[in-house]
A = this chain, B = another copy of it.
Amino acid sequence: MRLPLLAAVCCALLASAARPHCAAAAKARHFKWEISNMFWSPDCEEKVVIGINGQFPGPTIRARAGDTIHVELKNALHTEGVVIHWHGIRQIGTPWMDGTAAISQCAINPEETFTYRFVVDKPGTYFYHGHYGMQRAAGLYGSLIVDVAEGEEEPFKYDGELNLLLSDWYHESIHTQMVALSSKPLRWIGEPQFNCSMAAAHTPGATQCAAVNRQCAPVVLPVQPNKTYRLRVASTTSLASLNLAIGNHKMTVVEADGNYVDPFAADDIDIYSGDSYSVLLTTDQDPSSNYWVSVGVRGRLPKTAPALAVLNYRPNRASKLPALAPPVTPAWDDYEHSKAFTFRIRARAGTPPPPATADRRIELLNTQNRMDGRTKWSINNVSMVLPATPYLGSLKLGLKSTLAAARPAETFSRGYDVRQPPANPNTTAGDNVYVLAYNTTVDVVLQNANALAHNVSEVHPWHLHGHDFWVLGYGEGPYRGDAADEARLNLRDPPLRNTAVIFPYGWTALRFVADNPGVWAFHCHIEPHLHMGMGVVFAEAVDRVGKVPKEAVSCGATASALMNGDHL
């Protein structure tokens, strides 16, 4: 079987037009959200989604760098907890606001209200999403756009903005998906039958069902001719890696994950789950036509047509079919194309360079394994299982009972054959806590390997909370840490990012400075992979974490300790 981990079948790629929100001068921005299940038809077939204030996707947050965001969040789900992670926001000084259930806080129980308060310190293209179970895959996400501070300027010019938040959508509920992923053996959820997708809606001859349902109407990106636009694109997919191309238009990549990059031109861009980009787009083509935007699948044989959006040259009607066919995105398994794109991403001049050397190197082998008959992902042969008590509370209070005393391995066997399925496929569960000393420079080498089936090695986009990291380099095959590997590292202009990919059978080296006390998740951003254990936790200078609000950790053993008189 080629795709042993495709637990749910991609049935539509979603490109949601963000609703722009007027940026005011105020520094505190207040939002009141209610999270609930509701009926919605993301691909014209009605299902239950998790919505915010009756919207799917959630409302766009727009702020300026330095602003404080206040989100008073009421959980109106019936029996499920909820949290919101602010993806890309480093939460400097507020690790309890990171919104990762069982790590930075307790899930917010039904009928409870929790207020997120945090500073968006850096301009960029971000998003937010659920971070409990697989709730992101249930549609719990939205855009978070941070403009430069009042009086400052972006290092590039544009006349207008467009925003696309990309996702994928599955017809089975996340509850069914989670049961399937946890089954013995792992269960494939059958491909749903349906005839209506955003692609179909604007493809000549296909069913025009989108026309009757606003919820699945194709996204329209309205532009004026002969202008330059900043197109913000982010991906909150559950599973799919994507590629975006615009008919007859080149793009200039200028931002990645909230960091400026050395501008470069591209015909198409790869976007992995957890990534965000800004590209500049000049509307210099025949203005009498509209143009297709195609979003295709990378890294897995796609089971669905590309998602299509319309670049609508005004005053043409949005419904005017483009003269050209939709651009064809690269073949799903053209990894050389993907690597060429990824390797071109370099820091813009002026980006702080990494420290020249690291104090510590943590090498993380990514393997697919089995545990009690279930399929798991493991890091150095330990599959992460989240505890009832959030790590932040346990570590801040020094609770002995909730986390293992032993620390996970810093490396893996040098002789491990990354080209073969694991010789020992059995794995164990653990909390995977790496303790980082304050202000040390940490290198992480992510090592990819063969999965359980022969000749399968997948792409994994790893996302770090609480930090940007420098992406120092990539290599093929096993990392050896020798001079040749060292020579591959880029210490001159490595990009700062919060998400980095490992390619099949390869490795990726990252560096960051442990200067943000907190407890930070670091994990594959593919929702089923995280659910199956593909992550670790960095406990970073927890003794320097400020006073954690009780309401953030009022559950499990932390609650018991606080009731018994312990203090945070």
CB within 8 Å of B: which residues of A?
37-39, 48, 78-82, 102, 106-107, 109-112, 132-135, 173, 175-176, 178-180, 183, 187, 386-388, 550-551, 554-556, 559-560, 562-563
Contact = CB atoms under 8 A, between A and B. Distances in A.
A405 to B, nearest CB: 19
Given A37-B175, A111-B386, 19 more contacts: A48-B175, A48-B176, A78-B133, A78-B175, A79-B82, A79-B133, A79-B135, A80-B80, A107-B109, A112-B556, A173-B175, A173-B176, A550-B560, A550-B563, A551-B560, A554-B559, A554-B560, A555-B555, A559-B563
B112 A388 contact: yes
Given A79-B81, A563-B562, A563-B563, A555 B109 contact: yes
The 5 closest A-B pairs by CB, nearest first: A111-B388, A79-B133, A78-B133, A79-B80, A112-B388
A372 to B, nearest CB: 12
A140 B173 CA distance: 19
A101 to B, nearest CB: 8
Contacts of A107: 79, 109-110
A137 to B, nearest CB: 12
20 contacts: A37-B175, A38-B179, A39-B183, A39-B187, A48-B173, A48-B175, A48-B176, A79-B80, A79-B107, A107-B109, A107-B110, A109-B109, A109-B555, A110-B388, A550-B560, A551-B560, A554-B559, A554-B563, A555-B555, A562-B563
Contacts of A133: 78-79
Contacts of A132: 79
A183 B51 CA distance: 13
Nearest to A565: B565
A81 B109 contact: yes
* Copies per complex of this chain: 2
Most B CB contacts (10 A, CB to CB) among A132, A135, A180, A559 go to: A559
Contact of A102 (B111, B134, B135, B555): B111
Interface centre among A109, A133, A173, A562 (most CB of B within 10 A): A109
Nearest to A559: B554
B556 A179 contact: no
A310 B491 CA distance: 77
A433 to B, nearest CB: 16
Contacts of A563: 550, 554, 559, 562-563
A30 B36 CA distance: 38
Contacts of A387: 111
A448 to B, nearest CB: 27
Given A78-B178, A175-B48, A556 B37 contact: no
A111 to B, nearest CB: 4
Contacts of A556: 109, 111-112
Contacts of A111: 102, 386-388, 556
A555 to B, nearest CB: 6
Contacts of A37: 175, 178-179
Contacts of A80: 79-81
A178 B39 CA distance: 11
A141 to B, nearest CB: 16
A224 to B, nearest CB: 40
Nearest to A172: B48
Nearest to A38: B179
A179 B550 CA distance: 32
A178 B79 CA distance: 10
Nearest to A112: B388
Contacts of A109: 81, 106-107, 109, 388, 555-556
Contacts of A179: 37-39, 48
A181 to B, nearest CB: 10
A443 to B, nearest CB: 32
Residue picked from A79, A178, A551, A555, most chain B C-beta under 10 Å: A79
A179 B134 CA distance: 19
A336 B132 CA distance: 52
A130 B183 CA distance: 23
A459 to B, nearest CB: 25
A498 to B, nearest CB: 25
Nearest to A556: B112
Nearest to A74: B388
Contacts of A551: 560
Nearest to A550: B563
A487 B183 CA distance: 61
Nearest to A564: B550
Nearest to A563: B562
Contacts of A175: 37, 48, 78, 173, 175
